[in-house]
Structure 1
Amino acid sequence: MIANMLSPCIATEKVEESRDFYVKHFGAKVSFDCGWYVNMQVGKETSELQFMARRESGPPACNPAGLMYNFSVDDVDAEHARLTAAGLTPVMPLEDHPWGDRGCAILDPSGVTLYIYSDREPTEEFKQFYKD
């Protein structure tokens, strides 16, 4: 199978809060919203998120422990400054990582960790793990 797109859908009781959070802080564009289900484009065309409220025949609310969305951005320092100025508190500080990025993390309203990063040169220790 060759998927045309991969997009996560989080079952949550916080559909409205999640929609508003991604629209406000990440410039998401809502492409579908029937109240209990929201589809949004985040960034480029191939980056979408969905949130849905629990329905009788649907999945239970997501336990987001261990779930992380990775957001690659051009300037993580600018994004960190913008998000903290908007009142968001990082759950992981902005720092350089030896595997080849500089990043920080925040939580969305459903408790999903959002790792926001920019690429950096990896240390010699980690260069060996990159594949051509």
Structure 2
Amino acid sequence: MLPIGISPTIVVEDLAPARTFYTTHLDGRLIFDCGWYIGLMFGENGPTLHFMQPHSPDHKLYQGGLTYNLKLADAAKVEAAHERILKAGLPMVMPLEDHPWGDRGFCTLDPYGVALYVYVEIEPSEDFKKFYL
């Protein structure tokens, strides 16, 4: 199997927080909304993220432990995103800083506790260069 795309779907009780959070804070655009399932796209033809309410006993509600890595085009965009998140009063799980593994980033949480790690690649430290394949 060779997928040509991967788009995660998070199962939650209430979709309203996702609609508001991702359109307000991450410039997501609703591309599908049937009431119990929504799809959001980031950018013109960028990545998508989906949320749905459970429709069978097999659809368990999201229980946490997920991190999305949101790579931005440049450091200025990361700085602007950081400022926007701070002004909105959203939780800051990790402050904006340079990391020796090769990125500059910060981490916040969405309304469901999904961690959103926003970053741009930078030169890794000598200690971390050996880990890149």
Normalised to the residue count of structure 1, the TM-score between the two structures is: 0.91
Residue 115 of structure 1: aligned partner: 117
Superposed structure 1 runs of 4+ greater than 3 Å apart: none
- Aligned-residue CA RMSD in angstroms? 1.4
Look up the equivalent residue of 1:72 and give its one-letter code.
K
CA displacement at 1:57 relative to structure 2: 4.7
| Distance change in 2, residues 1:52/1:84 (3 Å) | same
State percent identity of aligned pairs: 45
1:98 aligned to 2:100?
Answer: yes
Q: CA deviation at 1:118?
A: 1.1
8 Å Cα contact 1:28-1:40 kept in structure 2? yes
Contact 1:13/1:53 (CA < 8 Å) preserved in 2? yes
Equivalent pairs, count: 130
Q: For structure 2, list consecutive stretches of 5 or more residues without a partner in the other structure.
A: none
Report what 1:48 is aligned to: 48
Query: Residues 62-100 of structure 1, C-alpha deviation per residue, up to 9 Å, x if partnerless?
Result: 1122x1001011231221011111221211111111000
SS for the counterpart of 2:79 is helix
- TM-score for both structures, normalised by structure 2: 0.91
How many Å apart are 1:35 and its aligned residue?
A: 1.1
Structure 1 residue runs without a partner (length 5+): none
> Do the aligned partners of 1:14 and 1:110 also contact (CA within 8 Å) in 2?
no
